[in-house]
Structure 1
Amino acid sequence: MSSYNIALNFEDGVTRFIECKAGEKVLDAAFRARINLPMDCSDGVCGTCKCRAESGSYDLGDDYIDDALSEDEKHGGLVLTCQMVPHSDCVIAVPTSSTACKTAHGRFSATVSKVEPHHDAAIVLELDMDAGAPEFLPGQYVNIDVPGSGQHRSYSFSSAPGEAKVSFLIKKIPGGVMSTWLEAAQPGQKLDLHGPLGSFYLRDVRRPLLFLAGGTGLAPFLSMLEVLARAGSQQKVHLIYGVTRDLDLVQVGAIDAFVARLPNFSYATVVAEEASRHPRKGWVTQHIPADALNDGDVDVYLCGPPPMVDAVRKHFDDNGVKPNSFHYEKFTPNAAPGVSSKAA
């Protein structure tokens, strides 16, 4: 391979992808792409370019001093981008904003290919990207401009990276700006997208995974599961998908299809409504099996409305659950989007 794809994830949630040639240092590749990563010396002396490598393989060489990067920092995944030479695709967390590095999120245009309602609960929106497959990390989201409104709404990709056709699972909000537009949307209409965004994405898979989804918070997990299936992952993965009503259980068939494709994947659905006849009722926190927590040696990913996220965090705290890592994202219908919240 003559080059590698490097995702730079900034602290304001903006992600930019750069191409790093074989043998090239990340800092040089970023400057070539007109992204000014932090630096002072570029010689491994000052430590200003220190970032965290979240996935991928690389070499740091030995042309830097301990004051710039200690052994403990190195073993903790910290890197100097002025010394880092990738040997694979990598994800790097940059501890500053994208604007400080004189960059911004990308802009894309797309064409509506399908609008599929799921009762009164959700809508699956499929788009054909006009310029081919967009780059994003599984779990990330984009802002979609709502035509004629002057507003945008934010949605996680439910499709995997690298596809020219992308999909989103959108909560149906009566009177909502996007929901109202989608009621009359037809294939062939154009949409503008901005992104990718978000620090909620699948990291290197080195231990069992526990996915907790609430409502249309299922979307990023469909993207993650597709990536895991394509990679032939053998790691244990358990998904718990919680909703309010029976009608809110959407795309269960898509989840079920992963059972055949991922040998160690299992899932459970949970309905909160008392009147439901669903076999598992109540809240997600009531249906987390002990073995899914693997005595804490587990990476937990959680996406749902704020009350669910807060309830899971409290449940973990109250019960002394301390997973190896815990990544979560809240989404709030009709709220201004931020790094860790999305509007519906």
Structure 2
Amino acid sequence: MSYNIALNFEDGVTRMITCNEGETVLDAAYRAQINLPMDCSDGVCGTCKGACHQGDFDLGDEYIDEALSDEEAGQGMVLTCQMVPSSDCVVEIPAAASLCSKGGNQAVSGTVAEVNLISSTAIELRITADTDIGFLPGQYVNIQVPGTEETRAYSFSSRPGSRELSFLIRNVPGGLMSSWLVGKAKTGDQVTITGPMGVFYLRPVQRPVLMLAGGTGLAPFLAMLESLREKGCDQPTHLIYGVTSDEDLVCVDALEQFEAEIENFTFKTVVASDESNHPLKGYVTNHMDDAPINGGDVDVYLCGPPPMVDAVLGYFREQGIEPNSFHYEKFNPSVSAVEEKVA
């Protein structure tokens, strides 16, 4: 038996490795040509210390307190030289991937399978990767615009564990990637994908979850919902999806399917334009009354353009609500920059 281990480095890069039964994370990483920080490998120095808050594992009792105290172990800290997983795990590594041999971003080739203009403002890009890309639901990759050296960052909208990848992309008039997708891209074209990256990903669902999406910021939530559909969900999970105009509202049929198949999942859509006939108008912050905020015992995930993110952060401050955890990602659809925060 083997387990999938996601190594999350502090620079946002994630590497997926396979850990065999009885094998330590440090040894599995070394076998995958990733040199994690280490000195003694005997549980003495503490150099290989990281954190694991997702998954089951055993640390044994051969390490010393100076390397890992009982208090640190109780907080989810681990020594990768002693950590033997008994399930899939996510391990936080306090080092940059670029400092680990061959531990930097992975460049993977892929083939364009489909380009769908699903509305006047949104494009669905489907790519078949040549090799597996292990990623966590919510993470993103950089896709190189063919014929240029430029890249753009896009979140996966497809489920983890498949070479069939999909992305929901804002159609920006005159945008470099948008122009290529609309005017030149065709089935069979080759593209280069680098990643995965990002600290915006779905954590274990242990309390109510509130998802807030703006525009094509819906993409990472589609991947998260794919994961919840596969694994199940026993906590209330609610998505509020806000857009500027009616034509920006996409993938509603997919959300309806998720609602039918995922227990405890509900969603609503909101349109900001005064000219819309949509039943719910305004911004996501105007429609939070029935959100499962649960007195702050809630995990909040937020992805959208900067004004929306700032407005939601302001809403929680004004309400005096401090969620158990707050994960958010800002994006600017005209550039490749992505800003992520975990609070």
1:68 and 1:287 map into 2 onto residues whose CA distance is 49
Q: 1:145 deviation in Å?
A: 0.8
AA aligned opposite 2:91: I
Classify the secondary structure of the residue corresponding to 2:292.
Answer: helix
Classify the secondary structure of the residue corresponding to 1:235.
Answer: coil
Matches within 5 A, 1:132-211: 133-184=132-183, 185-211=185-211
AA aligned opposite 1:73: E
Bigger drift between 63-72 and 324-333 goes to 63-72
Look up the match of 2:217.
217
1:123 and 1:266 map into 2 onto residues whose CA distance is 25
Q: Is the contact made by 2:237 and 2:266 (CA closer than 8 Å) also made in structure 1?
A: yes
Q: Is the contact made by 1:329 and 1:340 (CA closer than 8 Å) also made in structure 2?
A: yes
Classify the secondary structure of the residue corresponding to 1:292.
Answer: coil
Q: 1:232 deviation in Å?
A: 2.2
Classify the secondary structure of the residue corresponding to 2:42.
Answer: coil
RMSD: 1.5
Matched, 1:31 2:30: yes
Q: Is the contact made by 2:302 and 2:309 (CA closer than 8 Å) also made in structure 1?
A: yes
Q: 1:66 deviation in Å?
A: 2.3
Matches within 5 A, 1:262-301: 262-301=262-301
TM-score between both structures, scaled by the size of structure 1 = 0.95
Q: 1:43 deviation in Å?
A: 2.0
Q: Which ranges of structure 1 fall in alignment gaps of 5 or more residues?
A: none
Task: Count residues with an aligned counterpart.
Answer: 339
Matched, 1:71 2:87: no
Look up the match of 1:91.
90
Q: Is the contact made by 1:197 and 1:339 (CA closer than 8 Å) also made in structure 2?
A: no
Q: Which ranges of structure 2 fall in alignment gaps of 5 or more residues?
A: none
1:285 and 1:48 map into 2 onto residues whose CA distance is 44
Q: 1:46 deviation in Å?
A: 2.2
Q: 1:170 deviation in Å?
A: 0.2
Bigger drift between 288-297 and 167-176 goes to 288-297
Q: Deviations for 1:243-286, whole angstroms, at most 9, x for unmatched residues?
A: 11111101111111011111211001111112222111111112
Are the structure 2 counterparts of residues 259 and 290 from structure 1 closer, same or farther at C-alpha, using a change threshold of 3 Å?
closer
AA aligned opposite 1:251: C
1:234 and 1:319 map into 2 onto residues whose CA distance is 27
Q: Is the contact made by 1:111 and 1:130 (CA closer than 8 Å) also made in structure 2?
A: yes
Matched, 1:232 2:237: no
AA aligned opposite 2:34: I
Matches within 5 A, 1:241-280: 241-280=241-280
Look up the match of 1:43.
42
2:133 and 2:95 map into 1 onto residues whose CA distance is 24
Matched, 1:309 2:303: no
TM-score between both structures, scaled by the size of structure 2 = 0.95
Q: Is the contact made by 2:153 and 2:338 (CA closer than 8 Å) also made in structure 1?
A: no
Q: Deviations for 1:38-67, whole angstroms, at most 9, x for unmatched residues?
A: 122222222221111131100111112223
AA aligned opposite 1:225: L
Q: Which runs of 4+ in 1 moved over 4 A?
A: none
Bigger drift between 239-248 and 267-276 goes to 267-276
1:202 and 1:255 map into 2 onto residues whose CA distance is 17
Q: 1:323 deviation in Å?
A: 1.1
Are the structure 2 counterparts of residues 291 and 249 from structure 1 closer, same or farther at C-alpha, using a change threshold of 3 Å?
closer
Q: Deviations for 1:208-255, whole angstroms, at most 9, x for unmatched residues?
A: 111110100000000000110011222211000011111110111111
* Identical-pair percentage: 58
Q: 1:120 deviation in Å?
A: 1.8
1:290 and 1:168 map into 2 onto residues whose CA distance is 30
Q: 1:291 deviation in Å?
A: 4.9
Classify the secondary structure of the residue corresponding to 1:63.
Answer: coil
AA aligned opposite 1:92: V
